[in-house]
């Protein structure tokens, strides 16, 4: 009988997969413990490493990619200004343009069970994130310079390792600036959370396990050059008014510290574009 070369022959000696099931489950439990409470505590005022790069996508007029240490990855694209031909758009304030924001979450972005694409829970979460993204970006964009025009921003969360909305705000602002949209300043996002307990403190740029255990969350968007807050988003319980004020000050300080990294990534993208045009 001739051999079927399209198939890979198995090994001569093999064992059933049940033999390795117990060992694999123990390894996964140890990994979860290391990522959870067993991990060494970090400084609550420390920032997670940030990587930002603008001008990645050739199909969009502006684009940016932001990655936070711990696994958060966001890719944003921006288009416009375009003629606002849609009759359903609401009237813009002051006769300016419209900023349309979209936030999508990849099915493989989070740990555990994947979201079913198009489910009601997914659509509602994406609508809330898109509204928060628009609220944080509108004060940074000079919409009065684009009367009866629309600007579009699309954010795709590739991996959720915590502080996803804050990373999306920074990436979307970079994408708009990379598209040549007139802006007052870059909007920088920074997230915080507070764990349960009377002595718990606010933590800057929490990871996904820390956000899962948190009883209070806060996302701050700042225009650092103008020292103007564009959005404060969040909620929770178990913290005094002085604690919320302290969290806000901590978030603003984090935005100021992240601002130089975003500016440098935008400048590098402009230099690459100039060098490509010169050649």
Q: Which of 13-27, 200-214, 241-255 has the lowest mean pLDDT?
A: 13-27
Q: Which fold does the domain 44-82+97-278 belong to in CATH?
A: Ribosomal Protein S5; domain 2 (3.30.230)
CA distance 167 to 129: 12
For residues 77 and 175, the answer to whether their CB atoms sit within 8 Å is yes
Instruction: Provide the pLDDT for residue 119.
Output: 63
Q: Which of 41-50, 107-116, 194-203 has the lowest mean pLDDT?
A: 107-116
Extract the tokens encoding 50.
């940030």
**Which pLDDT band holds residue 187 (cuts at 50, 70, 90)?**
very high
Where is pLDDT greater, at 153 or 92?
Answer: 153
DSSP tally for the chain: helices H, then strands E: 5, 9
Residue the block writes with tokens 């970090």: 42
pLDDT of 273 strictly over 80:
yes
Helices marked H in the chain — which ranges? 18-35, 120-137, 164-178, 208-213, 241-278
How far is the first Cα of the chain from the last one, in angstroms, to the nearest whole number?
62
CA distance 101 to 165: 13
Report the percent of the chain where pLDDT is more than 70. Answer: 77
Query: What are the angstrom distances between the C-alpha of 53 and each of 65, 132, 170, 171, 186?
Result: 5, 23, 11, 9, 14
CA distance 172 to 134: 10
**What average pLDDT does the chain have?**
81
Q: Is the peptide bond before 81 cis (omega within 30 degrees of 0)?
A: yes
Extract the tokens encoding 252.
């603003």
For 7-45, what is each residue's pLDDT tens digit? 445 455 555 555 444 444 444 444 444 444 445 567 778
């Amino acid at each position: 009988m001739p051999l079927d070369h399209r198939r890979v022959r198995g090994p001569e000696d093999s064992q059933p997969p049940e033999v390795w099931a117990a060992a694999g489950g123990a390894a996964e439990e140890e990994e979860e413990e290391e990522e959870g409470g067993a991990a060494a505590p970090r400084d609550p005022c420390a920032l997670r490493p940030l990587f930002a790069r603008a001008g990645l996508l050739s199909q969009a007029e502006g684009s940016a990619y932001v990655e936070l240490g711990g696994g958060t990855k966001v890719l944003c694209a921006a288009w416009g200004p375009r003629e606002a031909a849609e009759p359903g758009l609401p009237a813009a304030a002051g006769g300016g343009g419209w900023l349309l924001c979209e936030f999508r979450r990849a099915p493989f972005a989070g740990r555990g069970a994947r979201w079913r694409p198009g489910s009601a829970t997914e659509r509602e979460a994406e609508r809330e994130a898109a509204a928060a993204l628009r609220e944080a970006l509108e004060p940074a964009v000079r919409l009065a310079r684009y009367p009866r025009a629309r600007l579009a921003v699309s954010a795709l969360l590739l991996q959720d390792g915590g502080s996803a909305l804050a990373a999306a705000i920074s990436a979307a602002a970079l994408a708009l600036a990379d598209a040549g949209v007139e802006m007052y300043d870059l909007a920088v996002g920074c997230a915080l959370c507070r764990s349960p307990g009377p002595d718990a403190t606010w933590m800057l740029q929490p990871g996904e396990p820390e956000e899962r255990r948190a009883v209070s969350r806060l996302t701050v968007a700042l225009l650092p050059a103008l020292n103007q807050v564009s959005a404060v988003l969040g909620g929770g319980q178990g913290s005094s008014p002085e604690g919320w004020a302290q969290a806000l000050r901590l978030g603003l300080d984090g935005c100021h510290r992240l601002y130089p990294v975003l500016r440098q990534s935008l400048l590098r993208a402009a230099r690459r574009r100039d060098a490509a045009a010169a050649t």
